[in-house]
A and B are shown apart, each in its own frame.
Chain A
């Protein structure tokens, strides 16, 4: 599903000398990976790379059996992005569209029938309890509400890869529960999730593997402590998941 090899991840120089750490990750469909680490550890950079929003330089990234290098065609890149749901720390919206239209937009871009768009949008708005805000413009929402809208927008397409940055997981417990429940349902259906937080929740609603950042400068060097050995070890999983390809 996701194979990332020796990605030079930008990190705060106070955490890693030189400001770059190589990261290797391999995830299969249905897997969940908790990415933990302090601020500046490279969590968001990792998510953005997997979301194809950062160029992959000096490493290899394969998503859904597509090599996401600079040679990846724009059409293939667009199709991959349609299957990735990314909940950013500070989500951006189409400011002239209402909350409901913003949530429905990814389905419209994927050329889904209007009746289906209507049904799916109403369903996910009810699930995230956004009925009262559906007709509002995003500018008029609080940050927590914007995160809720971003969750609904990212998950409405039932993406194959779900990427969640920290605020959506920590800002509001109710949102966190609803979001993790949704993601758990999607991972059971074969989606892969990468969730970034500073610390791993004690009893996460969504169990999964863990990756602690920053990693050691050399991929061959051992992890810093016994408690992190399971976290820092790359997840070697079979990438034979061609069934998920469009």
Chain B
């Protein structure tokens, strides 16, 4: 360590360290919130029963010999995203047994399909093709849940935006406060250095490096707190999402947390970015102080 490094005064680092730790944790949560909510909602929607059943009269009671065979091609042509399957008789029998007492008579033809569009369109098309068909829509879970999920998404976005806005104000303010405190603590040194034939920029570099190190440490502590926080939140949500409990630590972090890899990359980079900001802020404040001594 050079004499100039030892000459540099250093105020107590704890306020800045704790402040940056908290704000990094908050920013991390704010960034993770919309992704997490979106991923959870998608998962939830995927778990919902969206199977539509089309019941057709048995072949003997129908106008055509193969009602399912007549209906499926135009149906697939009209709704390309539709996944329609004619259920085998064994499955039909089991389904009917689950609905009511033993079915008497010939088994109807059942077509199972997943449809995410408008049910009315599907029903009218099916009735055009096969007037005697009965379209059984899925239970109206999604219809009931949609407003809730929409509100959830909206709330997550709003909370994220508010936290991001707060962070955008607080982080520069915190860094400026830290840099200003450091510059003021070293006013005497910065004033004396030119008189001795030294470059003030040498001291600026030393102060900026220390500030960057401190900011990095504070931010890293925030990220270290953030990861278990995310794991805890996701663990709490897993029963609601009908997911098995976490197995191990590493799989718990990345694939099952609904967060995209880019966000994890951003979390890793955050301490470096904050350190860069702190470094630049010290240079800026010191230069301004040099031009306009307080």
- Asked whether B235 is an interface residue with its Cβ less than 8 Å from the other chain, the reply is no
A51 to chain B, nearest CB (A): 8
The interface residues of chain B lying within 8 Å CB-to-CB of A109 are: 4, 193, 196-199, 202
Interface size for B (C-beta < 8 A) is 19
Q: How far is the CA of A206 from the CA of B90 in the complex (A)?
A: 121
From A81, A97, A104, B197 is in contact (CB under 8 Å) with: A81
Q: With A78-B199, A108-B2 in contact, do A94 and B7 touch (Cβ < 8 Å)? A: yes
From B6, B191, B195, A86 is in contact (CB under 8 Å) with: B195
Q: Which of B197-241 contact A (CB under 8 A)?
A: 197-199, 202
Q: With A78-B198, A82-B197, A109-B198 in contact, do A92 and B192 touch (Cβ < 8 Å)? A: yes
Q: Which of A80-125 contact B (CB under 8 A)?
A: 80-84, 86, 92-97, 101, 104-106, 108-110
- Asked whether B3 is an interface residue with its Cβ less than 8 Å from the other chain, the reply is yes
Q: How far is the CA of A93 from the CA of B199 in the complex (A)?
A: 16
B108 to chain A, nearest CB (A): 92
Q: Which of A51-70 contact B (CB under 8 A)?
A: 51, 53
- Asked whether B188 is an interface residue with its Cβ less than 8 Å from the other chain, the reply is yes
The interface residues of chain A lying within 8 Å CB-to-CB of B198 are: 78, 105, 109
Q: Are B197 and A106 in contact (CB under 8 A)?
A: yes
B204 to chain A, nearest CB (A): 14
Q: How far is the CA of A53 from the CA of B197 in the complex (A)?
A: 11
Q: Are A96 and B6 in contact (CB under 8 A)?
A: yes
- Asked whether A228 is an interface residue with its Cβ less than 8 Å from the other chain, the reply is no
Q: Are A101 and B188 in contact (CB under 8 A)?
A: no
Q: Are A108 and B4 in contact (CB under 8 A)?
A: yes
- Asked whether A144 is an interface residue with its Cβ less than 8 Å from the other chain, the reply is no
Task: Using C-beta atoms within 8 Å of the partner chain, give the interface range for chain A.
Answer: 20 to 34
- Asked whether B8 is an interface residue with its Cβ less than 8 Å from the other chain, the reply is yes
- Asked whether B114 is an interface residue with its Cβ less than 8 Å from the other chain, the reply is no
- Asked whether B112 is an interface residue with its Cβ less than 8 Å from the other chain, the reply is no
Q: How far is the CA of A92 from the CA of B192 in the complex (A)?
A: 7
- Asked whether A79 is an interface residue with its Cβ less than 8 Å from the other chain, the reply is yes
- Asked whether B194 is an interface residue with its Cβ less than 8 Å from the other chain, the reply is yes
Q: Are A53 and B196 in contact (CB under 8 A)?
A: no
Q: How far is the CA of A79 from the CA of B194 in the complex (A)?
A: 10
Q: Are A105 and B196 in contact (CB under 8 A)?
A: yes
A183 to chain B, nearest CB (A): 19
Q: Are A92 and B188 in contact (CB under 8 A)?
A: yes
Q: Are A97 and B6 in contact (CB under 8 A)?
A: yes
Q: Are B197 and A94 in contact (CB under 8 A)?
A: no
Q: How far is the CA of A192 from the CA of B9 in the complex (A)?
A: 35
The interface residues of chain A lying within 8 Å CB-to-CB of B256 are: none
A22 to chain B, nearest CB (A): 26
The interface residues of chain B lying within 8 Å CB-to-CB of A94 are: 3, 7, 188-189, 192
The interface residues of chain A lying within 8 Å CB-to-CB of B188 are: 92, 94-95
Q: Are B196 and A81 in contact (CB under 8 A)?
A: yes
Q: How far is the CA of A246 from the CA of B188 in the complex (A)?
A: 29
Q: How far is the CA of A137 from the CA of B7 in the complex (A)?
A: 11
A241 to chain B, nearest CB (A): 20
| Residue on B nearest A153 in the bound complex, by CB | B196
Q: Which of B172-199 contact A (CB under 8 A)?
A: 188-189, 191-199
A143 to chain B, nearest CB (A): 18
Q: How far is the CA of A82 from the CA of B194 in the complex (A)?
A: 9
| Residue on A nearest B197 in the bound complex, by CB | A82
Q: How far is the CA of A79 from the CA of B199 in the complex (A)?
A: 10
| Residue on B nearest A81 in the bound complex, by CB | B197
Q: Are A108 and B197 in contact (CB under 8 A)?
A: no
From B191, B192, B197, A78 is in contact (CB under 8 Å) with: B197
The interface residues of chain A lying within 8 Å CB-to-CB of B194 are: 78, 81
The interface residues of chain A lying within 8 Å CB-to-CB of B4 are: 105, 108-109
Q: Are A101 and B6 in contact (CB under 8 A)?
A: yes
| Residue on B nearest A79 in the bound complex, by CB | B197
Q: How far is the CA of A81 from the CA of B194 in the complex (A)?
A: 8
Give the most central of A51, A79, A86, A109: most B CB within 10 Å: A109
Q: With A92-B188, A95-B188, A96-B9 in contact, do A104 and B196 touch (Cβ < 8 Å)? A: no
Q: Are A97 and B195 in contact (CB under 8 A)?
A: no
Q: How far is the CA of A110 from the CA of B2 in the complex (A)?
A: 13
B12 to chain A, nearest CB (A): 15
Q: Are A110 and B6 in contact (CB under 8 A)?
A: no
Q: Are B195 and A81 in contact (CB under 8 A)?
A: yes
Q: Are A105 and B3 in contact (CB under 8 A)?
A: yes
| Residue on B nearest A93 in the bound complex, by CB | B192
Q: How far is the CA of A106 from the CA of B199 in the complex (A)?
A: 11
A149 to chain B, nearest CB (A): 13
Q: List 15 A-B contacts (CB under 8 A).
A: A78-B194, A78-B197, A79-B197, A92-B188, A92-B192, A94-B3, A94-B192, A97-B3, A97-B7, A101-B7, A106-B197, A108-B3, A109-B4, A109-B197, A109-B198
Rank and list the top 3 A-B pairs by shortest CB-CB distance, nearest first. Answer: A82-B197, A109-B198, A94-B7
